[in-house]
């Protein structure tokens, strides 16, 4: 780790003939935390062992040299690469990036990612490193007692959205499930996610639709229906507002049409 090599701590490691890579061991035992390193060409070099099974791998030898496009759905890989590039170009970290990943059951799981530029002793960016952790209680058996960081009421609302975002959801449903009034519910979502509850639902639907657009041959009308939109017109309107292109153009631009 070049940060250590160029610091007083790094000097101490050198004097003791210790490998600073040992610090990676810390991340193996922090519940729910995953750690990764990529080079400047977006190739993955290292992940902690806890992360590897999530992407179908068992060793870092299998991982080495792969890119996000080899391991994740195209929508996610695009987001990861965009953020990596921004971190490397600016030489500034990006913190608390909220990322939405759909599991094998089609349910959304939210993760918080921190990314940092990796520089050599001359200050040149040679890659990016970061941490990933689940934003909620994705799997208590794996992540122990990780819980929603804020109100349990908001956690109940988000869990309800997680399981029902493809159906006809209304604010009244979230008020009932959470036990919060409209104002507190709205404020809670703004504080946690930076968007209002209905915007949060729409974002979840759009992200799910992006996966459908890039991994299936479904018609737009069917994708709209499957992801909780009133009709294709409504789907196109919301999609263009969030993604800056129409669903059809999004699909064509990425060679999936």
- From CA 89, how far away is CA 43, in angstroms rounded? 16
Q: Lowest-confidence range among 64-73, 93-102, 203-212? A: 93-102
User: What burial class does residue 163 get, using C-beta atoms within 10 Å of its C-beta: 0-12 exposed, 13-18 middle, 19+ buried?
Assistant: exposed
Most confident of 4-13, 50-59, 185-194, 232-241: 232-241
* Cβ atoms of 155 and 148 closer than 8 Å: yes
Confidence of residue 136 (pLDDT cuts 50, 70, 90): low
Element (H, E) at 91: none
Going by their DSSP bridges, the two strands 108-119 and 44-47 should be labelled as unpaired
257 or 78, greater pLDDT: 78
- pLDDT value, residue 3: 46
- From CA 108, how far away is CA 53, in angstroms rounded? 18
* Cβ atoms of 155 and 147 closer than 8 Å: yes
pTM above 0.85, yes or no: no
Q: Which residues pair with 118 in a beta bridge?
A: 127
**Domains in the chain, start-ordered, CATH in brackets?**
2-140 (3.30.450.20), 148-253 (1.10.10.60)
* Cβ atoms of 132 and 68 closer than 8 Å: no
Q: How many residues does the chain have?
A: 257
* Cβ atoms of 178 and 185 closer than 8 Å: yes
Query: What strand order describes the sheet that includes 108-119?
Result: 44-47, 34-39, 125-134, 108-119, 94-102
- pLDDT value, residue 147: 40
Confidence of residue 83 (pLDDT cuts 50, 70, 90): very high
- pLDDT value, residue 4: 46
Q: pLDDT tens across 171-230, in order?
A: 999 999 999 999 999 998 888 788 899 999 999 999 999 999 988 999 999 999 999 999
Spell out the alpha helix ranges (H) of 125-181.
140-143, 152-164, 171-178
- From CA 184, how far away is CA 173, in angstroms rounded? 14
- Count of beta carbons in the 10 Å neighbourhood of residue 248: 13
């Amino acid at each position: 780790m070049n940060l250590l090599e160029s610091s007083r701590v790094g000097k101490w490691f050198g004097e003791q003939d210790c490998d600073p890579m040992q610090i990676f061991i810390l991340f193996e035992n922090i519940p729910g935390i995953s750690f990764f390193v990529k080079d400047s060409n977006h190739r993955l070099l290292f992940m902690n062992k806890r992360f590897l099974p999530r992407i179908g791998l068992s060793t870092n030898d299998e991982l080495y040299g792969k890119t996000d496009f080899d391991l994740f759905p195209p929508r996610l890989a695009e987001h990861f690469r965009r953020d990596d590039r921004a971190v490397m170009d600016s030489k500034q970290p990006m913190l608390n990036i909220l990322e939405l990943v759909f599991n094998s059951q089609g349910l959304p799981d939210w993760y918080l990612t921190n990314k940092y530029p990796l520089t050599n002793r001359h200050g040149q960016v040679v890659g990016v490193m970061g941490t990933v952790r689940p934003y909620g209680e994705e799997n208590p058996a794996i992540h122990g007692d990780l819980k929603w960081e804020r109100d349990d009421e908001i956690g109940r609302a988000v869990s309800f959205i997680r399981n029902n975002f493809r159906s006809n959801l209304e604010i009244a449903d979230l008020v009932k499930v959470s036990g919060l009034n409209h104002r507190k519910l709205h404020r809670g979502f703004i504080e946690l996610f930076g968007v209002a509850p209905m915007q949060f639902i729409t974002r979840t639907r759009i992200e799910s639709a992006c996966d459908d657009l890039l991994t299936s041959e479904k018609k737009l009308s069917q994708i709209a229906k499957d992801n909780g939109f009133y009709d294709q017109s409504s789907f196109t309107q919301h999609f263009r507002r969030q993604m800056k292109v129409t669903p059809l153009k999004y699909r064509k631009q990425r060679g999936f049409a």
